[in-house]
Amino acid sequence: METLQLPRDPYNIIITGVGGQGNVMASRVLSSMLVNGGFMTTIGETFG
């Protein structure tokens, strides 16, 4: 599969929240959509 190139510097999308799994799920859904579109993604989770 061909990897798409962004027209400018890479974008940073930050999803924040308090408690629950909604943030994790939103990150995974968005990442999955971008991967299906040919983009490379990275997800990081910080607890504590």
pLDDT of residue 25: 92
Q: Tens digit of pLDDT per residue, the chain (48 long)?
A: 676 666 666 788 888 888 778 888 999 999 999 889 888 888 888 876
- Please report, to the nearest 10 degrees, the dihedral formed by the alpha carbons of residues 2, 23, 26, 8 taken in order: -40
Are 2 and 38 in contact, with CB atoms under 8 Å apart?
A: yes
pLDDT of residue 11: 82
